[in-house]
Structure 1
Amino acid sequence: MKTHSHPALAQWRRLLAAFAAAMLLCGAAHADPLAPADEKGVRAAVEGQLAAFARDDAAKAFSFAAPNVRKTLGTAQAFMAMVRRDYPVVYRPASVAFLKPDGKDDQAVQRVQMADSSGVSWLAVYSLERQSNKAWRITGCVVVENRGRMA
């Protein structure tokens, strides 16, 4: 069954994505270096989700999403469908290069340079939040075409 978004909802999503991108990029400019253990945890969360996408393991990919994301999307299948539709380079990157994460308090930003199957370079900017159990979970991802060089 194919569903169609209402035009107003689609426009709202685009505006929300643009706002989120601006906030992520502005916040990143004021972030501090993370402790080595936090750097490792942040990267592991993003790597784990990318590995789950590569295996089409919706449940595992969904497990790396923060509780607010899981609540909004409802099911692992809905999450995977959204990623396939809206984030094809994240779903199936041809290559990835992790940049150094940074953050402040319980918030972090992980930038990942990606190339798609056509060789186009993209920058995925992930926002993450440390949970009460100290695990890092992904709260959002904004993808923009990367006109710079791959790392």
Structure 2
Amino acid sequence: MRIAALLVAITVIFSSISACAGDVTAAQGVIRAQEQAFARDDAAGAYSHAAPAIRELFPAPDTFMSMVQNGYPPVYRHKSFEFGDSKTEGSSVLQRVNIVDANGEAWEALYTLEQQPDGSYKITGCSLLKVGREA
């Protein structure tokens, strides 16, 4: 009986871990797709990965793209864009991204994504911190 209970516990733990890993993989796919849309200057493609709350703030793809170009230049144009640590919290994923901008400066981005009713993930926010700068 104890072995059966242990097997059930292990199965639950591993299914939870793989679900989290699947969520992180899906979220990283969304971030990467948006990054590639920025590289192509594809405003509609980049905008399609924004969560509804972001779309309310920026009701058109061109205004969204302008905000990113002006407010998030390391996200818009960079030399490197590599995933760092991630964390899942309920239906949210927090994903760190290490960025080297077009000028060779290092940045850390923290993306937040929320799972939508259809199961997809959308980006709810991105904060940038220049590496080496005091908070």
Instruction: Please indicate the TM-score interval, normalised by the length of the shorter structure.
Output: 0.7 to 0.9
For residue 107 of structure 2, give the secondary structure of its aligned residue in structure 1.
strand
Show the counterpart of 1:91. 76
Instruction: Indicate conservation of the 8 Å contact 1:96/1:115, yes or no.
Output: yes
1:108 shift after superposition: 1.1
The root-mean-square deviation of aligned C-alpha atoms, in Å, is 1.8
Q: Which has the larger radius of gyration?
A: 2
Structure 2 alignment gaps of length 5 or more: 1-16
Calculate the TM-score normalised by the size of structure 1. 0.74
Show the counterpart of 2:131. 146
Q: How many residues are matched? A: 117
For residue 96 of structure 1, give the secondary structure of its aligned residue in structure 2.
strand
Q: Deviations over 1:15-44 (max 9, x none)?
A: xxxxxxxxxxxxxxxxx9961210111100
Range with greater deviation from structure 2 (100-109 or 123-132): 100-109
Calculate the TM-score normalised by the size of structure 2. 0.82
Runs of 4 or more consecutive aligned structure 1 residues displaced over 6 Å after TM superposition: none
> Which amino acid counterpart does residue 120 of structure 1 have in structure 2?
E
Structure 1 alignment gaps of length 5 or more: 1-31
Show the counterpart of 1:111. 96
**CA separation in 2, counterparts of 1:33 and 1:99?**
18
Relative to structure 1, the CA distance from residue 38 to residue 74 in structure 2 (aligned partners, 3 Å threshold; closer, same or farther) is same
Q: Deviations over 1:64-123 (max 9, x none)?
A: 000110111100000000000010000011101101321211111010000012211000
Question: What does residue range 1-150 of structure 1 map to in structure 2 within 5 Å?
Answer: 35-147=20-132
Q: Percent identity?
A: 36
**CA separation in 1, counterparts of 2:76 and 2:37?**
9
